[in-house]
Amino acid sequence: MVNLYERSFVSQLEKRLFADNPRIQVLVGPRQVGKTTGIKQLLVRYPFASHYANADDLLNTDRTWLLEQWQKAMSLSGQALLIIDEIQKVPNWSETLKSLWDKDHNAIRVVVLGSSSLQLQKGLKESLAGRFELVKSHHWTFHELKIAFGYDLERYLTYGGYPGAVAYEGDFDRWYAYLKDSIVEAVIGKDILLNRKVGNPALFRQAFEILCRYPAQEISYTKLLGQLQDRGNTDLVKYYIELYSGAFLIHPLEKYSAKSYLARGSSPKILIACPALYAMNEGPHILDDPEKRGRIFEMAVGAQLRQLMGDLYYWREKNLEVDYIYKYRGSVYAIEVKSGRRKSSKGMDTFMERFPSANPIIITPDNFPMFSENPHKYLDTVTHLTEKTETR
């Protein structure tokens, strides 16, 4: 059934490819979320000639192979489309692509993608500045899994994020093994440790397990460091989190402040990229614990907010807090997540006193499906309804 569902990045790519003189389109995102499937859906309805090549199909690839693929696309007529999958496996791919693009980029459309987002992003920074646009394919949202697999909220909060794992949900041990071997270990072992300098791989893996224990929780770098079984410093912890964020696994949120230097120096709020990454370490019965259920629901809301354009923060002042502060197109949304846990509303009240132009938003399990379907539309609708109520 997953092959019938089309993710939003497919139409986004299609729109960009039909623009005049489009840049190189670079599709990045987590492993195993359907990037290649989406590309094949795009190819089916692309109205002009196309050439798809996968660097993973060959034991040895080099710049000559990439040049060969480029020439095949150049030989096609019309607005020919060249797609290179797993391009990060081609040595010096970004330098070669830059050279080819600068010489002939008006003749064809180009999309590149790969399983290792860290390697792709490194190549982009080194050689392709000004020549590309990023298209991000994130973890599957609740709305997507509901449409494609009939998920309800309980199932999403336990298993949500990876469509390839759906077939194994009836056997938790098998489901866990799939996530650990095919996703987490592939990201850590292949994408990060083979391409970034990490002095102690065992400590790095331990850091991931520790970070996954704190979904949607603020925690100091010093406290995180204290749980690692080795000496280090806070810069080491920050570096580890930076690598996990670049690989679409864990994201740190800064504290919202009118003064940017205070935000940069704050303790991070740990945002795990999808519920499955929490459940794989906590077991299949996490929702039986009200505290964990509340945390994972708050995390699920934050994870979808993190997928949107704009900037995401949290706010805290002493014992007062607001779960998320979302900035987009000049608007500020103060978002409080309520899931049954007893939470004071004083944080929201205080924040609105300090920032009266912000828009207060409450997200609960009841309205989460509407939010997940179209977050921006939901935020705008609630804001307009609130404004109408206040003017009466």
**Domain ranges, ordered by start, for the chain:** 2-136, 180-391
pLDDT tens by residue, 55-66: 987 766 678 999
Contact between 273 and 248 (Cβ < 8 Å): yes
What pLDDT, on a 0 to 100 scale, did the predictor assign at position 258?
72
Name the strands in the sheet holding 331-337, side by side, starting at the edge strand that comes first in the sequence: 311-317, 320-328, 331-337, 359-363
Average pLDDT value for residue range 185-192: 91
> Which is more confidently placed, 261 or 286?
286
Split at pLDDT 50, 70, 90, the class of 341 is low
- In this model, does residue 390 exceed pLDDT 70? no
Closest CA relative to residue 367, chosen from 379, 355, 356, 352: 379
Q: Which CATH class is domain 2-136?
A: alpha beta
Instruction: Give 353's pLDDT tier (boundaries 50, 70, 90).
Output: very high
pLDDT-based confidence at 96, cuts 50/70/90?
A: very high
Residue whose structure tokens are 């899931």: 339
**Residue, of 378 and 229, whose pLDDT is higher:** 378
For 84-94, write each residue's pLDDT tens digit: 999 988 888 99
The predicted structure's pLDDT at residue 2: 44
184-213 burial, b at 16+ Cβ within 10 Å, e below that, comes to bebbbeebbeeebebeeeebbbbbbebbbe
What are the two backbone dihedrals, phi and then psi, of residue 28, each rounded to the nearest 5 degrees? -125, 160
Residue 284 scores a pLDDT above 70: yes
In the chain, DSSP assigns E strands to: 24-28, 50-54, 81-85, 109-113, 132-136, 217-218, 250-253, 269-272, 311-317, 320-328, 331-337, 359-363
